[in-house]
Structure 1
Amino acid sequence: MSIHTINLHEKLSALLGEVESKKLFSGIGIFYNDHMFGIYKQGGFYLRAKDELAQYVESIGGVRWDRDGVPSNLRIRDYYLIPSDYVSDEHKNSMLIKMIKESLQQIESEKLAESLERAKRIRRLPNMSLKYERLLGKVGINTISQLREIGAADAYILIKSQGLFVTSHLFWKTFAALKNKYVELLTETEKEIAFKEINEKLAKVGFRAMKYKP
């Protein structure tokens, strides 16, 4: 038994609160608080589910998107065709809402994790950019916390020791970034301390001294 998209929208709005529908390439997306938790396609309702929720959905007869004969990317694969009686049968509506709420919680958790991960990105620091983030990533420095742990001087030397092309600009930009400053705002005292530190460390590993300060 297929479900009409208008009826589905009305049903979910009555059970969950106001939901939104937006046309997608793969069907009609169903949103709640800007979170897309479902897709309506060819008379069927697909719920976004992962981990234990996905296992439960499969246990009640749910079929993953890419197993119903429709090719799909990885994100769409996380949607499962829910047996139609969970939508049409009022006695099963409470279980449908429970599954939807769990799906929404999963989406919220993922978005929070993504937000926290973005906050760790080196490019978010003053002076830094995707170019410098990628350069540091080549020597295993991928997050702000890792960069703080190793320090600007050792990070610069590590990149040089790997034979990668790097100029003194990286050191100064990184040094200032770890102070949450733009290079132009470094004091002369800060520059002198950093200049002495980097040249002492360069000498210990056999590299030429840095000649210029910003």
Structure 2
Amino acid sequence: MKEHDKNIFERLLSFFANNEMNNITIMSLFGGVGVYSNATMFAWIYDNQLYLKGHADYIAMFTRYQMKPLEFNTGVTIKLLQYYQITDYLWQDEKKLIKIIQMVIKYSSQNQRYKLKEERIKDLPNMTISLERALFKVGITNITLLRQEGALQSYLKLKQFNKNISSNVLFILHSALVGKHVATLTDEQKSQLKKECSKLISQTSR
């Protein structure tokens, strides 16, 4: 283990009681170090940072804390994984960080079969890796979450993050969720989407 990775692991280990430490193990993993609790991975030390395993139930909280997803370089492309970087702010608030780590371990243990690469947003019709990354930044990290939010809410979240985003993104999101190419949308359908979006904006701004 690299010296810096060792320091991160030792700092993480200090958060556990003596009787819990024996349950925490590590394993080399794709240029980093996987951290396990009772043989279930809950954290990843990678590129001199500690990342915690994500889950749909608390991904919004990770987003609020500005925890960025792990960008994993495969040598061919960059993949965004559902492990999220612990920020300096959280390192400084140990009580809060310990609670978060305990929550992540609990969820990880309950969902041992939960896979990070469930579904990739970029694999939907019309979607691109850049749009997938933009959605990641607003907490929409997989197709399930995208469907839960819907095209309109997802677009508005992107709009809040980047005011210059085009209405074409709304059309792309809608088409992706209904499984059609964006070019098949009629002018009438596009107009209707814009109206629904404007209505939603007016409702949320009240």
Shorter-normalised TM-score: what interval?
0.3 to 0.5
More helix by share: 1
Larger radius of gyration, structure 1 or 2? Answer: 1
More strand by share: 2
- How high is the TM-score relative to the length of structure 2? 0.45
